[in-house]
């Protein structure tokens, strides 16, 4: 069979230290901020029923109104240090920040377009202030960049005519120049989070996306780029024509979480999630249900238990402050993470049979498995069934390491942990110190 020229160039996970750091984050923050934040999903008292950062595409939004709105972008209360401190308190280990969303407005003073923060009343280099403030707090920074750019006249949804192709060649060069300036101006950046790559114009540019990704990684060694960037020469995205994931991790879990480990196909992956049901930019009215802190902690545990990272989105207001609901969630989640982050940071899929009480995570390179308990059964007996050839040596509450919990053996490979009678109002963590032994696994038997 023909060899794919512009498909994946690596099978399996990246094994370098930058990717190992990414793999261990556990919890991240997404921030969507821009001109769309001025509208908050509303115009003249009417609410757009799509995602607020898409309001430019609303039929009731006159383009002139949106495209001149940047002249009102003047976030009087913006303080990147405050943002970074809130994130630090929440316990996130990385942040993904919108440099340019689909509307094309640049939150850094790009040299390649006038549609930037430099020509708004806010003269600050927002991207620089965010990158510097978060880096100072010890939080790694990743930059969100939308390829699709509604403001640039050379953007094309498809390449049907010669004129389309000539214009899109200019657009591809513009894109390369903007990405180059982002990496050169903000060298602390650890990775790029691409979006807006689903249209035919990009799917027809597989070779270009391959060359551009390799160029970016040469410019910035160790750079991490997810699977949503590339197309192969047949227009396949995420997974190439031979079934191999392109990019350094699977970037398809947007507002959804894998159910089982089989769903992640052995890849690294992140899940990006909104607090309201939908909508990433600031929305004046949150419609429907928005997630409680316990729901967010459970999603975090679920993602880490399946080998991924959970990234929660915040949509700052036009003045640069956060909604009270978002501040509250960051505070409450942070209180839990302060006590329990051992079960989230530098943890991976344990490979034990899932039980109803919650999620297992395994500390990377250590014989420690954590039980993150969300559902205490009326019996207070938590069933534990280690993977083959693994024994539980000791069990204790993360918050009470001195008090060993008793394991009641059920049969040769499962036990009950009897919980002390107490009121369990918060999710909590049990530590299982493990050792090899017990039933030999099939491969062990085969070796002897
Ligand atoms: C159909 C669709 C396209 C793009 C999106 C963007 N991806 C998220 C990360 C947000 O940036 C959202 O605007 C959402 C839905």
- Nearest atom (ligand 1) to Cα of 54: 13
The β-bridge partners of 310 are 27, 271
Tell me the best of 54, 56, 281 to mutate to test the pocket of ligand 1, counting ligand atoms within 8 Å of each CB and taking the most.
Answer: 54
Q: Is 53 in the pocket of ligand 1 (CB under 6 A)?
A: yes
Per-residue model confidence as pLDDT tens digits over 219-276: 999 999 999 999 999 999 999 999 999 999 999 999 999 999 999 999 999 999 999 9
For the cut 90, the answer to whether the pLDDT of residue 372 exceeds it is yes
pLDDT in tens, 118-147: 999 998 999 999 999 999 999 999 999 999
Which residue's CA lies nearest to atom 14 of ligand 1? 51
For residue 57, pLDDT over 90 is answered with yes
Q: Is the pLDDT of residue 434 over 90?
A: yes
**Which residues 6+ apart lie within 8 Å of 347 measured at CB?**
24, 26, 304, 361, 362, 363, 364, 370
- For a substitution probing ligand 1, which of 32, 50, 195, 311 has the most ligand atoms within 8 Å of its CB? 195
What is the DSSP secondary structure assignment for residue 4, as one 8-state letter?
P
Neighbouring CB atoms inside 10 A of 269's CB total: 23
Q: Which of 73, 62, 38 is closest to 52 using CA atoms?
A: 38
The atom number, within ligand 1, closest to the CA of 30 reads 9
* Alpha-carbon span 132 to 127, nearest angstrom: 8
448 pLDDT more than 90: no
Q: Is the CB of 92 under 6 A from ligand 1?
A: no
> What average pLDDT does the structure give for the chain?
96
Q: From edge to edge, which strands make up the β-sheet containing 390-397? A: 347-348, 358-363, 368-373, 428-436, 390-397
Nearest CA to ligand 1 atom 8: 280
CA 101 to ligand 1: nearest atom: 11
pLDDT band at residue 40, thresholds of 50, 70 and 90?
A: very high
Closest CA to ligand 1's atom 4: 196
Q: Are 228 and 267 in contact (CB under 8 A)?
A: no
Which pLDDT value is given to residue 437? Answer: 86
* 351 CA from centroid of ligand 1 (Å): 32
- Answer whether residue 63 shows pLDDT above 80: no
Ligand 1 centroid distance, CA of 350 (Å): 31
SS3 content of the chain, % helix, strand, coil (to 5): 30, 20, 45
Per-residue pLDDT, averaged over 340-352, amounts to: 98
The response to whether residue 51 sits with its C-beta less than 6 Å from ligand 1 reads: yes
Q: Whose CA is nearest to atom 6 of ligand 1?
A: 195
Helix axis angle, 162-185 relative to 126-136, nearest 10°?
Answer: 40
270 bridge partner residues: 309
d(CA 104, CA 56): 11
Q: Decide if 32 contacts 280 (C-beta within 8 A).
A: yes
The C-alpha atoms of residue 121 and residue 382 are separated, in whole angstroms, by 58
Q: How high is the pLDDT of residue 440? A: 62
> How far is ligand 1, taken at its centre, from the CA of residue 280, in Å?
8
For the chain, percent of residues with pLDDT exceeding 90? 94
Least confident of 296-310, 354-368, 418-432: 418-432
Kindly state if the Cβ of 272 falls inside 6 Å of ligand 1. Answer: yes
Question: What tens digit of pLDDT does each residue of 3-35 get?
Answer: 899 999 999 999 999 999 999 999 999 999 999
- For residue 195 and ligand 1, the question of a CB distance below 6 A is answered with yes
Helix, strand, or coil (residue 224): strand
What is the predicted pLDDT for the residue at 253? 98
Q: Which atom of ligand 1 is nearest to the CA of 146?
A: 11
Say what the pLDDT of residue 112 is. Answer: 98
Give me the sign of the Cα torsion angle 264, 270, 275, 279.
negative
Q: Ligand 1 within 6 A of 232 CB? A: no
Among the atoms of ligand 1, which is closest to the Cα of residue 51? 13
């Amino acid at each position: 069979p023909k060899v794919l020229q512009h498909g994946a160039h690596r099978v399996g996970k990246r094994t370098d230290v930058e990717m190992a750091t990414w793999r261990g984050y556990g919890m991240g923050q997404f921030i969507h901020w821009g001109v769309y934040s001025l509208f908050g999903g509303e115009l003249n008292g009417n609410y757009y029923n799509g995602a607020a950062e898409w309001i430019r595409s609303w039929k009731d939004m006159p383009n002139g109104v949106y495209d001149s709105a940047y002249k009102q972008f003047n976030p009087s209360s913006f303080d990147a240090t405050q943002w970074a401190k809130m994130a630090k308190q929440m316990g996130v280990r990385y942040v993904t920040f919108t440099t340019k969303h689909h509307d094309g407005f640049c939150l850094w003073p790009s040299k390649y377009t006038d549609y930037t923060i430099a020509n708004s009343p806010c003269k600050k280099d927002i991207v620089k202030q965010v990158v510097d403030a978060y880096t100072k707090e010890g939080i790694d920074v990743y930059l969100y960049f939308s390829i699709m750019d509604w403001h640039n006249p050379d953007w094309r949804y498809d390449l049907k005519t010669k004129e389309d192709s000539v214009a899109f060649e200019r657009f591809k060069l513009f894109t390369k120049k903007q990405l180059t300036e982002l990496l050169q101006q903000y060298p602390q950046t650890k990775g790029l989070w691409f979006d807006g790559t689903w249209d035919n114009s990009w799917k027809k540019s597989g070779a270009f996306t391959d060359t551009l990704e390799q160029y970016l990684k040469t410019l910035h060694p160790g750079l991490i780029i997810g699977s949503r960037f590339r197309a192969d020469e047949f227009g396949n995205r995420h997974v190439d024509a031979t079934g191999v994931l392109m990019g350094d991790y699977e970037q398809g879990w947007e507002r959804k979480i894998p159910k089982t480990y089989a769903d992640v196909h052995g890849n690294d992956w992140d899940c990006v999630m909104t607090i309201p049901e939908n909508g990433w930019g600031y929305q004046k009215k949150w419609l429907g249900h928005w997630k409680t802190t316990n729901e967010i902690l459970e999603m975090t545990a679920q993602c880490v238990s399946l080998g991924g990272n959970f990234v929660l989105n915040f949509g700052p207001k036009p003045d640069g402050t956060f909604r009270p609901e978002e501040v509250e969630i960051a505070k409450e989640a942070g209180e839990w993470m302060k006590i329990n982050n051992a079960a989230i940071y530098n943890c991976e899929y344990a490979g034990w049979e899932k039980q109803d009480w919650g999620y297992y995570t395994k500390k990377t390179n250590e014989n420690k498995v954590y039980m993150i308990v969300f559902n205490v059964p009326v019996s207070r007996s938590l069933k534990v069934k280690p993977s083959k050839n693994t024994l539980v040596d000791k069990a204790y509450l993360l918050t009470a390491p001195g008090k060993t919990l008793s394991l009641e053996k059920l049969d040769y490979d499962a036990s009950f942990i009897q919980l002390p009678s107490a009121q369990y109002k918060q999710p909590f963590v049990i530590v299982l110190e493990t050792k090899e032994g017990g039933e030999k696994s099939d491969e062990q038997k085969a070796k002897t």
